[in-house]
Structure 1
Amino acid sequence: MTPGGPEAGFAADARPACGACGAVYDPAAGDPGREVPPGTPFGGLPDYWRCPGCGGPQHGFAVVTPPGDDPMEARVAALTASYRLIAERDMAGVPICNAALAVEAVGFRPHGPGWIGCVIAPWFLNAVLIPRDPASWAERRDGDKMEVALPSGAYRFTAARVGVLGTLSVIPLASAMNVFADQEDARGAAVLALDHLMREPQPAPQTEPPPASEADTAKPTLSRRSLFGGGRR
């Protein structure tokens, strides 16, 4: 049975897209240049067939969300699939990776032009904004900076291209992933970070000023700016 066979769940007329580069396989057209005649469904591709755009494997292809399905769920699933492929193909055994961690999406919700949440990977923890329209930031190059307003303020995001999802916006939250003991530890950090990013500033309570002696000895408190100063303007 071929890698893209019926077990992958593709219908005969499905037009799956490569998760690495976005190339779409059209069964009506086939791929005559690789000896695949028109009318060949994705599940009927020969074993040797690879993505014509980047040479990626058949298992890297996924079907675009059908009308009526939850687009956020489908985009987040595509995002995690893309990073899992990178983890298996490019990052296995790399020293910066924490072997106790796996790729996981945490807390995604609608916001502005798309959906925001966190992604945990063995080599990073990022806040990620996925655009509803994959062409939204098509003119941006990897590494370009852009300012995005969140409930807690305006933050500087970095553009990152991820295949069929288009260009995402990310805030690196942690890169030294060995500080996390396990997946639960990293998940807790992701939830805490999202809570800070997505919480509206609260007005300071109106209280009487403390006596001078108490004010002089009061301990300083951490601010959101001190926690997220690296990604915020």
Structure 2
Amino acid sequence: MTSVGPEAGFAADARPACGSCGTVYDPAAGDPGRDVPPGTPFGGLPDYWRCPGCGGPQHGFTVAAPPGADPMDLRVAALAASYRLIAERDMAGVPICNAALSVEALGFRPHGPGWIGCVIAPWFLNAVLIPRDPALWEDRRDGDKLEVGLPSGAYRFTAARVGVLGTLAVIPLASAMNVFADQQDARGGAVLALDHLMRNPQPAPRPEPPPASDADATKPALSRRSLFGGGRR
């Protein structure tokens, strides 16, 4: 059964369980012993938080997904919800943010080990690769480089840990977000960037033959007879 973290469209009071030991995180209680106050949703846990029962990672906690839910849609929703939480908690009023923009995930499609698309936020525009297996890059630290092949070539992504999604692979596409007038403008930039990344390279055009000289024009054209010695004998 597919399962995801509570950021993926689930209520803030969802009680996810550790897949390894069964420990349940209760947002009403929090985890005061680890400086997590009561009322903290799972999506608001600090990066250092681990399962109190077995020390497992956050991405090991799951809640059952609705029947028939698309895993990609759930992961993308979780990604957008995680960045919305960051926007509300940490980035409100920060000068680098473009107040005309909001968090939005768009263009996601299957690729390689997961799903790739773009995320718009008031402070960045990134291409993001979400792994199907949240543990795929668990040995990588934030900022580590990952080389991933895309249709247009090989790119160096940056590792970024995001809660229950595990470690994502990210390419910064724009950091000065004031270049975008509004959300629609930012969407256009995201679509163009993703189209470039996911487009197969076109073969180089064949060079045009040099123009024939007057001397060449007087030469007889090649024929089957001239190539194979005058035909039958």
Question: TM-score, normalized by length of structure 1?
Answer: 0.68
**1:85 and 1:210, CA in 2 relative to 1: closer, same or farther beyond 3 A?**
farther
Q: 1:50 aligns with which of 30, 34, 45?
A: 30
User: Could you list the runs of 5+ residues in structure 2 that have no partner in the other structure?
Assistant: 1-5, 45-61, 212-233
Contact between 1:113 and 1:132, CA under 8 Å: does it hold in 2? yes
Counterpart in the other structure of 1:92: 92
Give runs of aligned pairs for residues 1-233 of structure 1, distance below 5 A: 15-16=15-16, 46=28, 49-50=29-30, 55=36, 57-58=40-41, 60=43, 63-66=63-66, 68-206=68-206, 208=208
**1:204 and 1:74, CA in 2 relative to 1: closer, same or farther beyond 3 A?**
same
RMSD: 3.1
Counterpart in the other structure of 1:226: none
In 2, distance between residues paired with 1:68 and 1:111? 21
Bigger radius of gyration: 2
**1:182 and 1:138, CA in 2 relative to 1: closer, same or farther beyond 3 A?**
same
Shift of 1:171: 0.3
Contact between 2:160 and 2:168, CA under 8 Å: does it hold in 1? yes
Contact between 1:124 and 1:177, CA under 8 Å: does it hold in 2? yes
Contact between 1:101 and 1:183, CA under 8 Å: does it hold in 2? yes
Contact between 2:124 and 2:172, CA under 8 Å: does it hold in 1? yes
User: Could you list the runs of 5+ residues in structure 1 that have no partner in the other structure?
Assistant: 18-22, 32-41, 212-233
Shift of 1:30: 5.9
SS of aligned partner of 1:157: strand
In 2, distance between residues paired with 1:10 and 1:177? 30
Shift of 1:209: 6.4
Which amino acid in the other structure matches residue 107 of structure 1? G
Contact between 1:160 and 1:169, CA under 8 Å: does it hold in 2? yes
Shift of 1:55: 2.1
Question: TM-score, normalized by length of structure 2?
Answer: 0.68
Counterpart in the other structure of 2:53: none
Which amino acid in the other structure matches residue 36 of structure 2? G
Shift of 1:203: 1.4
Shift of 1:10: 8.9
Which amino acid in the other structure matches residue 60 of structure 1? G
**1:59 and 1:154, CA in 2 relative to 1: closer, same or farther beyond 3 A?**
closer
Contact between 1:10 and 1:63, CA under 8 Å: does it hold in 2? no
Shift of 1:65: 2.9
In 2, distance between residues paired with 1:30 and 1:137? 24
**1:168 and 1:30, CA in 2 relative to 1: closer, same or farther beyond 3 A?**
closer
**1:208 and 1:120, CA in 2 relative to 1: closer, same or farther beyond 3 A?**
same
- Residues 113-171 of structure 1 show CA distances to partners (whole Å, capped at 9, x for unaligned) of 00000000000000000000000000000000010000000000000000000000000
Contact between 2:109 and 2:116, CA under 8 Å: does it hold in 1? yes
